[in-house]
Structure 1
Amino acid sequence: MDTYLKEGDKVTAIYKTGRYIGEIIGKNPKGTHAIVKILAVLKHPVQGDLHQPGETNVPLFHERKALSFKEKANIPLSHVNLYSGDIPEYSNSLLEALMTQKKELKNENSIWASKSLESLRKLEKDTYKLNLEDDHQ
């Protein structure tokens, strides 16, 4: 158990399939989870079913958004590590994480990648309210 982590520490944290920079604002009573306040996005969550990654023939293809700025997440300490670098501005980090994931998906020729790109474009427009160029080309 990572008992060296304490309140106020800046950390990287994996939540579901996203990776974030945040600040520990507490721990659960058993000391197994940290409550992390999200400050930046390092990796946007993967789209689709977490239990059947890469599959499209699933009951529900989940549209997964990144955790919001200052959102609190209860994260197992095994998924939390100290962070010592500069913390990027949240919206810039979200945009960079989105662009990175979209570039990776464009290089993959699969139905899952195509459906994931569609989900990310919908998130950009409807949830994140980003006015990005249409990249359907």
Structure 2
Amino acid sequence: MPDFQKGEIVTAIYKTGKYIGEFVEERPNGMLVRVLAVMKHPMQGDLHHPKDAEVGFFHERRALAFREGAMIPKQMVKKYEAQVPDYQESLREALGKMKTELENESGPWAEMSLRNIETLDKEYFR
């Protein structure tokens, strides 16, 4: 497990999303990472029943916000060496990629997810 210096740029997987951020500090329950960009937008729906529309509550999952701190399990944090993209552009790209993937799927989960993505797109970029 690499040791990170404060301010070092890392990737972090949080729930079903992937982010680029800066390492803030290590804590007993994980690593505190401040979000700088989105690599993969979180999947929609229930985390415990992925790709299942027949759940009690179909969650709208937002990406973590710019400079939002998140406690990430240590094994989900890795060094990042490339240029950090602009947050808004990275969010737009990640959301667009997810939308394209969902448009190529069929079924109730994909349809419900696309509705959520359309709503999030309006909220993120209005």
Query: Alpha-carbon deviation of 1:45?
Result: 0.2
Name the larger-Rg structure: 1
More displaced, 3-12 or 98-107?
A: 3-12
Q: Does 1:78 align with 2:81?
A: no
- What amino acid does structure 1 have at the position aligned with 2:36? L
In the aligned structure 2, how far is the partner of 1:47 from the partner of 1:6?
33
Structure 1 segments of 4 or more deviating over 6 A? none
TM-score normalized by structure 2? 0.96
What residue in structure 1 maps to residue 113 of structure 2? 116
Q: Does 1:66 align with 2:58?
A: no
Contiguous gaps of at least 5 residues in structure 1: 132-137
- What amino acid does structure 2 have at the position aligned with 1:75? I
What residue in structure 1 maps to residue 54 of structure 2? 57
In the aligned structure 1, how far is the partner of 2:115 from the partner of 2:71?
29
In the aligned structure 1, how far is the partner of 2:33 from the partner of 2:12?
8
In the aligned structure 1, how far is the partner of 2:6 from the partner of 2:107?
43
Q: Does 1:44 align with 2:36?
A: no
Query: Alpha-carbon deviation of 1:5?
Result: 2.1
- What amino acid does structure 2 have at the position aligned with 1:24? F
Figure out how many residues of one structure are paired with residues of the other and give that number: 126
- State the secondary structure of the residue aligned to 1:26: strand
- What amino acid does structure 1 have at the position aligned with 2:64? L
- What amino acid does structure 2 have at the position aligned with 1:105? L
What residue in structure 1 maps to residue 86 of structure 2? 89
In the aligned structure 1, how far is the partner of 2:79 from the partner of 2:2?
12
**How well do the aligned residues superpose, as a CA RMSD in angstroms?**
1.1
Contiguous gaps of at least 5 residues in structure 2: none
Q: Percent identity?
A: 47
What residue in structure 1 maps to residue 16 of structure 2? 17
- What amino acid does structure 2 have at the position aligned with 1:117? L
In the aligned structure 2, how far is the partner of 1:90 from the partner of 1:3?
25
